[in-house]
Amino acid sequence: MLLFVIFLLLIKNKPDRFLKPVGLDNDNKNMQIIEPLEFGKYYHIYNRGINSENIFKENRNHEYFLTLYTKYIDPIADMLAWCLLKKHFHLLVRIKTFDEITQNQKGGEVNKTVPVHQSFGNLFNAYTKAINKGYNRHGALFERPFKRKLIDNNTYLQSVIKYIHYNPVNHGFCEHPIEYPWSSYLTCLSEKPTKLKREKVISLFKNIEELKTFHTKNENFDSLEEFLNL
């Protein structure tokens, strides 16, 4: 237990030592760099099904994924936007600070703390196991590793929020984000209690009316998708 607490303190004080990029390809010329997930920063997390397979086959799959998200990711990250489509998903999160993560834990739970990237891995692994069992399939469901992009300014943050909400429109599921049930756009417009950081999202656009207006303007996302390698 003492050694584990020391390890957590080392992560807090020197995160780069434990969260440095890792090369995945043995061929140095084609080495893939994994961007670390650092405390207190914003990330666009996204991925798709392996071999373009559907990862959400029916409505209960969306619901179960969100249930698992609450279990594995809520303790370590704040959610600003999300969208689940048949073959892929997008999440916009702020990784909580080390202190926020540990302060929200109950007395004996510090030994359950895992590296941030592993929390996402646990989510995807748990969902994969459920889909494999429910649909008599085997093996990986998602491409690996899951993709992530650091968001380091508010303009980029605004663009990614709109991009995530407009994904169903871009893929022909609807004509406006308000028509699609499996994204955070409807939650942004609602007054119902939510764990989504709705006030933060609205403040990025000044107010709710500006958010709505921003989401009615046509925009070409080609350059952003090229950056995301989609």
Q: Could you read off the pLDDT of 148-176 as tens digits, one per residue?
A: 999 999 999 999 999 999 999 999 999 99
- With 0-12 CB in 10 A as exposed, 13-18 as middle and 19+ as buried, what is 17? exposed
Do residues 165 and 184 touch, judged by C-beta distance below 8 A?
A: yes
Q: Could you read off the pLDDT of 91-120 as tens digits, one per residue?
A: 999 999 999 998 877 655 554 667 899 999
Predicted TM-score (pTM) above 0.85? no
Amino acid identity, residue 182? W
pLDDT at 106: 64
CA 75 to chain centre: 13
Q: Could you read off the pLDDT of 51-65 as tens digits, one per residue?
A: 999 999 999 999 999
